[in-house]
Amino acid sequence: MSLLLDESERALVAATPLFSEIDADTLLWLLDGGGVTTYPDGGLLFSQGDAADRFFVVLAGRVSLFALTESGDQSIIEVVDKGASFAEGAIFANARFPLNAAVAPGTRLLDIPAASFLRRLSERQGLSAKLLASLARWQRHLMREIVNLKGRSPVQRLASYLLALSGPVADGAAEAVLPLSKTDLASLIGITPESLSRAVNRLKPIGVTSHGRSFRIADKAALRRFCGTD
Amino acid sequence: MTPSQIVPLGRDILVELGQTPLFSGLSEAEIRLLLGGAWTESHPDGVMLFRQGDAADGFFVLLDGHVELFVDDGSRTVLDVAKRPAILGEAALFDDVRHPHAARVVGYAKLLAVPRGPFLDVLDQRFDLAQRLLGAMSIRLRALVGQIAELKLKSTAQRLAGFLLGLARKEEGAVTVRFPYDKRLAAEALGMTAESLSRALGRLAFLGVESRAENLVVIADAGALRLFCAEDGEE
């Protein structure tokens, strides 16, 4: 693998949640036997029910994991982006791939054969415990993200919506013009029209002012911090 | 890590552990084997489970309540407020390390305390068990990743639904709207990529929203769409 991955790709692999607690040398040894493939045209990587004899890390591009519905349509279960691993659950379970995987054109994947990976994992004492520690940390991270997504207040949802409307400029001042009435905006963020003006007032100390459908944001970075999406 | 009172793990605890990501793939007998040295403990508000820099001699599985994890850097930086079934003090799964952060009970917490020595011994002797722990954990975390994608998609779908309602001239019933500009620009205006806009449109299909040619979108029931917009993150 040392021949196949450049420095930035190696850093990318080391940063995947699964390997976050494994030191660089051990990781190189553990992944020895892995190969890198680029898929210029994309296509099907594996099908549901195929023997899970390898798992993958996305080095560039993206992979869709999908099930097929009865009518033959693809139902996308997960989109795996650069820097994430997939199918490791299936190899630990000595199982078959539970889903189909399709790669987008230009995707580059590191594939790690299950047999050598599991053999090496079993050979070095304490290594599986480290992988477990990586997963424990990842679990906390994911749980926190879910709480953040579920637990945001209506005022935070209003702030997120205004941020989204204000366009791609990252920081500083911005304008946002509502493409919908305030009644619809209230409905969108899940509050009554009466409490919308309260929510708008709550954003004043964070530098948001409004005239009719037009909002002015004094400092997008401050608003983003308020949303908890920073 | 020392037990204040050792209570052998009862069946109720084993059943509870079987529902946590870490142990979900194991039988009760296997959990007993791994947790030979473990016990449960409950603490009131404010109790420090471990301090930053303490030797990590065991880890915890949070069974109930909340624990705050923080870095003590002069001002206290809160990393997380963990809830069940989080694993705390995972540094103990390494050789001879110290806790990189502190953990303090918030309100109340019931925990499974697992001393590192016996647990690591079993892992080293029984790779089959280690592999199954890893497999169960990976698969359950995948489900969390899916839940996050769904929550994110839902909030994009809600933003899109609000945008469509803004274009509709009717409060209830069927209505057809036209994107004022092409979908790529609409996506930009909504702060999403064109791809997530199509996914969000797909997500709205179950509410009777259908995308047609020439930037038209048919809404079967504007009232239902309005209700969807007002839903909270939880389903």
Answer whether B163 sits within 8 Å of A180, measured CB to CB: yes
Extract long-range pairs of A201-205: CB within 8 Å, 24+ residues apart: A202/A155, A203/A155, A203/A158, A203/A159, A203/A162
Nearest to B66 by CA among B30, B106, B25: B106
Answer whether B166 sits within 8 Å of A179, measured CB to CB: yes
Give residue B185's pLDDT: 73
Answer whether A121 sits within 8 Å of B229, measured CB to CB: no
Answer whether B133 sits within 8 Å of A128, measured CB to CB: yes
Q: What is the mean pLDDT of residues A157-169?
A: 75
Percentage of residues in chain A having pLDDT higher than 70: 90
Answer whether A93 sits within 8 Å of B139, measured CB to CB: yes
Q: Are A123 and A65 in contact (CB under 8 A)?
A: no
A104 DSSP assignment? P
Chain B residue numbers with beta carbons less than 8 Å from the beta carbon of A192 are: none
User: Which residue of A136, A151, A161 is in closest CB contact with B90?
Assistant: A136
User: Taking 80 as the threshold, does the pLDDT of residue A186 lie above it?
Assistant: no
Query: Structure tokens of B48?
Result: 């420090």
Answer whether A165 sits within 8 Å of B191, measured CB to CB: yes
Give residue B93's pLDDT: 87
Interface test with B, best of A142, A144, A162, A169 (most B CBs within 10 A): A142
pLDDT single digits (tens) A132-151: 988 988 888 888 777 767 66
User: Taking 70 as the threshold, does the pLDDT of residue A25 lie above it?
Assistant: yes
pLDDT band at residue B160 using 50, 70 and 90 as cut-offs: confident
Interface test with B, best of A26, A58, A132, A192 (most B CBs within 10 A): A132
Give residue B234's pLDDT: 38
Tell me the range of A12-16, A91-95, B5-9 where mean pLDDT is highest. Answer: A12-16
Q: The complex's ipTM?
A: 0.71
Query: Structure tokens of B136?
Result: 């169960």
Chain A residue numbers with beta carbons less than 8 Å from the beta carbon of B94 are: 21, 126, 129-130, 133
Quote the minimal CA–CA distance from B11 to chain A in Å.
24
Quote the minimal CA–CA distance from B98 to chain A in Å.
14
Q: Are B190 and B160 in contact (CB under 8 A)?
A: yes
pLDDT single digits (tens) B102-150: 999 988 899 999 999 999 999 999 999 999 899 888 888 888 888 887 7
Answer whether A132 sits within 8 Å of B22, measured CB to CB: yes
User: Which residue of B82, B139, B146 is in closest CB contact with A78?
Assistant: B146
Give residue A1's pLDDT: 46
Answer whether A88 sits within 8 Å of B138, measured CB to CB: yes
User: Taking 50 as the threshold, does the pLDDT of residue B235 lie above it?
Assistant: no
Range in B7-16, B147-156, B169-178 with the lowest mean pLDDT: B147-156
CA angle at residue B67 from A224 to B71, to 5 degrees? 60
Percentage of residues in chain B having pLDDT higher than 90: 28
CA angle at residue B220 from B216 to B226, to 5 degrees? 100
Give residue A19's pLDDT: 92
> What is the Cα–Cα distance from A155 to B170, expressed in whole angstroms?
26
> What is the Cα–Cα distance from B72 to B49, expressed in whole angstroms?
14
User: Taking 80 as the threshold, does the pLDDT of residue B91 lie above it?
Assistant: yes
Q: Are A202 and A195 in contact (CB under 8 A)?
A: no
Answer whether A142 sits within 8 Å of B166, measured CB to CB: no
Interchain CB contacts (distance < 8 Å): A and B = 166
What does pLDDT average to over chain A? 85
Report cis status (omega within 30 of 0) of the bond before A113: no
Give residue B52's pLDDT: 92
Answer whether B144 sits within 8 Å of A139, measured CB to CB: yes
User: Taking 70 as the threshold, does the pLDDT of residue B18 lie above it?
Assistant: yes
Instruction: Locate the chain B residue with the closest alpha carbon to A138.
Output: B141
User: Which residue of B139, B141, B165 is in closest CB contact with A180?
Assistant: B165
Q: Are B59 and B114 in contact (CB under 8 A)?
A: yes
Give residue B126's pLDDT: 93
Domains of chain A and CATH, by start: 7-146 (2.60.120.10), 154-227 (1.10.10.10)
Give residue B49's pLDDT: 96
Domains of chain B and CATH, by start: 11-125 (2.60.120.10), 148-230 (1.10.10.10)
Answer whether B93 sits within 8 Å of A188, measured CB to CB: no
pLDDT band at residue A108 using 50, 70 and 90 as cut-offs: very high
What does pLDDT average to over chain B? 84
Chain A residue numbers with beta carbons less than 8 Å from the beta carbon of B163 are: 179-180
Range in A112-116, A125-129, A158-162, B178-182 with the lowest mean pLDDT: B178-182
Give residue A139's pLDDT: 86
Detail the DSSP E strand segments found in chain A. Answer: 35-39, 43-46, 54-60, 62-68, 74-81, 85-86, 100-103, 107-113, 174-177, 208-211, 214-217
pLDDT single digits (tens) A48-82: 999 999 999 999 999 988 888 777 777 777 889 89
> What is the Cα–Cα distance from B194 to B208, expressed in whole angstroms?
21
Give residue B167's pLDDT: 81
Interface test with A, best of B132, B142, B151 (most A CBs within 10 A): B142
User: Taking 70 as the threshold, does the pLDDT of residue A157 lie above it?
Assistant: yes
Q: What is the pTM of this model?
A: 0.69
User: Taking 70 as the threshold, does the pLDDT of residue B5 lie above it?
Assistant: no
Quote the minimal CA–CA distance from B219 to chain A in Å.
15
pLDDT band at residue B233 using 50, 70 and 90 as cut-offs: very low
pLDDT single digits (tens) B163-210: 888 788 777 889 998 887 777 777 766 767 777 788 888 889 888 899
Interface test with A, best of B137, B139, B148, B197 (most A CBs within 10 A): B137
Per-residue burial over B34-52, b if 16 or more Cβ lie within 10 Å, else e, is: bbebbbbbebeeeeebbee
